[in-house]
């Protein structure tokens, strides 16, 4: 289960836009078993005197799953509010006795990064981290291009590795959600096949087909079985933004 909460980062990052204080919460289920909770907050913040948007994500196991395999992972990203490219990212993983911590600084002028774990190295231009990439996609109109049938790849840094992420648009489906029946765009991010996903296309994200484009549901085809991720709450400054229709 190592790295479990990495895969749904793709899901929750699509909606939060950095209002004064914005928060989304998702419930993770393995079949009928409630197994975890994920939250993402966003707010404007200064980093080394630069104005940034700070995204903070925490994923943790709950209930029976927590007793069997405890997970408490934190991912953070500070991005430029205009380009939405990252200045800095933090990965702080606690899974059973396993621990991993790294900080990465991004130099987009010289196309390089500096990592506490692996030092400095050259990278492709417009490099993103695992959280910032979906904000970058949305703000730079990649989503509109995706719905029009275009394909594109974006370089992403995670851990000590680089990979090219591609999105595929699968069409529209109607699903029942906490806020009523919703027509949704179905999108599949292509990520490297690893120990968790059965294949590079083992993730489907459901985004409401309305002006909100709320990522409301996701399915993960894991090696150990199916995982479902359901939106539980979405707040701006503590006020719920979810209305049943």
For residue 4, count other CB atoms closer than 10 A to its CB. 23
* H and E: helices and strands count for the chain: 4, 16
Rounded to 5°, the CA angle 52-106-10 comes to 70
Question: Max alpha carbon distance in the chain (Å)?
Answer: 51
C-alpha to C-alpha distances, 23 to 19, 41, 159, nearest whole angstrom: 9, 4, 25
List pLDDT tens digits, range 206-219: 888 887 777 888 88
Classified as helix, coil or strand, 5 is: helix
Q: Are 211 and 205 in contact (CB under 8 A)?
A: no
Domain annotation covers residue 142: yes
Domain annotation covers residue 245: no
| 59 or 113, higher pLDDT | 113
Q: Are 197 and 188 in contact (CB under 8 A)?
A: no
Alpha carbon distance 80, 75 (integer Å): 17
Least confident of 22-36, 95-109, 130-144, 162-176: 130-144
Q: Which of 34-48, 84-98, 135-149, 178-192 has the highest mean pLDDT?
A: 84-98
Displacement of CA 178 from its chain's centroid (Å): 21
The residue with tokens 């990439």 is 133
Mean pLDDT of the chain, nearest integer? 82
Domain annotation covers residue 90: yes
State the total domains in the chain.
1
- Tell me which residue range forms the domain holding 86: 4-240
| 2 or 235, higher pLDDT | 235
The residue with tokens 């703000």 is 139
Domain annotation covers residue 45: yes
Q: Are 227 and 29 in contact (CB under 8 A)?
A: yes
pLDDT at 111 over 50: yes
Q: What percentage of residues in the chain have a pLDDT greater than 90?
A: 27
pTM of the predicted model over 0.85:
no
List pLDDT tens digits, range 48-74: 999 999 999 888 888 888 888 888 989
pLDDT at 121 over 60: yes
Hey, what's the torsion of the CAs at 195, 142, 50, 58, to 10 degrees? -30
pLDDT at 124 over 90: yes
What CATH number is given to the structural domain containing 110?
2.40.360
**Mean local confidence (pLDDT), 72-78:** 92
Domain annotation covers residue 76: yes
Hey, what's the torsion of the CAs at 192, 194, 198, 201, to 10 degrees? -10
Domain annotation covers residue 116: yes
Instruction: Give me the pLDDT at residue 230, please.
Output: 86
Q: Are 35 and 61 in contact (CB under 8 A)?
A: yes
């Amino acid at each position: 289960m190592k790295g479990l909460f990495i895969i749904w980062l793709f899901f929750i990052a699509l909606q939060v836009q950095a209002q004064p204080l914005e928060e989304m919460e998702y419930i993770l289920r393995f079949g009928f078993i409630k197994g975890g909770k994920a939250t993402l907050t966003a707010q404007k913040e200064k980093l080394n005197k630069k104005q940034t948007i700070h995204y903070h994500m925490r994923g943790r196991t709950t209930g029976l799953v927590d007793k069997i395999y405890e997970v408490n992972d934190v991912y953070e990203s500070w991005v430029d509010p205009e380009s939405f490219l990252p200045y800095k990212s933090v990965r702080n993983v606690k899974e059973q006795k396993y621990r991993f911590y790294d900080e990465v600084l991004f130099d987009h002028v010289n196309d390089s990064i500096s990592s506490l774990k692996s030092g400095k190295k050259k990278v492709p231009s417009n490099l993103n981290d695992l959280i910032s990439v979906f904000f970058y996609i949305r703000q730079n109109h990649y989503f509109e291009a995706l719905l029009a049938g275009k394909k594109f790849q974006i370089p992403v840094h995670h851990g000590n590795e680089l990979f090219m992420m591609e999105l595929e648009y699968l069409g529209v489906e109607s699903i029942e959600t906490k806020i009523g029946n919703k027509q949704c765009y179905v999108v599949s991010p292509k990520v490297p096949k690893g120990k968790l996903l059965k294949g590079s296309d083992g993730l489907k994200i459901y985004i409401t087909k309305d002006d909100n484009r709320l990522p409301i549901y996701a399915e993960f085809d894991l090696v150990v079985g199916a995982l479902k991720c359901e939106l539980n709450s979405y707040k701006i400054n503590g006020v719920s933004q979810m209305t049943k229709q």
